[in-house]
Amino acid sequence: MAFVFRFAKLLAHRRHQLREAQVALARAVEQAAQAERLLAETQETLESYRLRWQERAQDGLPLGEHLAFQRYLAYLEQQLQRLRAARDTARRHVQEKQKLLLERDQEVKKLERLEEVDYEKFRWHQKKREQKKLDELAVRSFDGDLAARDLLP
């Protein structure tokens, strides 16, 4: 008789959920990294344009160009605020996915431990049955030997 875990389908389902949680976490981490990169690039662009604006302002800058620089710098500042918010959201998302992954992992480990306990019980019962059969065979063999001795002259 082969061992069949009573919650095998549930364990398979939980393992599938664990794999999905791992994939979701990987995606969330990648999105957070992408948000960090975009934020860093935008900050570099902002600093670069500020320096360029200051250099050009020292040489005398036409009013139209001065206003265009100011508008673009204001746009980059707003963009930085949006990107910081997106980065913070991505970080929270990563934390949520980490928490979910931890929960899924614990669920799988609980079921795996239950499977181990059930298997040990199965093995114990199986050994008990085998020992009982061996005992019965020994008794029959012993009884057979006695019967054969009784028939001897």
Q: What is the pLDDT of residues 36-70, one digit of tens each?
A: 999 999 999 999 999 988 888 888 878 888 899 89
Domain architecture of the chain: domains with CATH: 8-151 (1.10.287.1700)
Q: What is the pLDDT of residues 117-148, one digit of tens each?
A: 999 999 999 999 999 999 888 887 766 665 55
Distance CA 21, CA 15 (A): 10
Reported confidence tier of residue 13, pLDDT bands at 50, 70, 90: very high
- Tokens 């009573």 locate to 6
Of the two residues 18 and 151, the one the predictor is more confident about is: 18
pLDDT of residue 118: 97
The answer to whether 91 and 32 have CB atoms below 8 angstroms apart is yes
- Tokens 């990107």 locate to 83
Instruction: Give Cβ neighbours of residue 126 (< 8 Å, ≥ 6 apart).
Output: 1
Distance CA 126, CA 133 (A): 11
The answer to whether 104 and 18 have CB atoms below 8 angstroms apart is yes
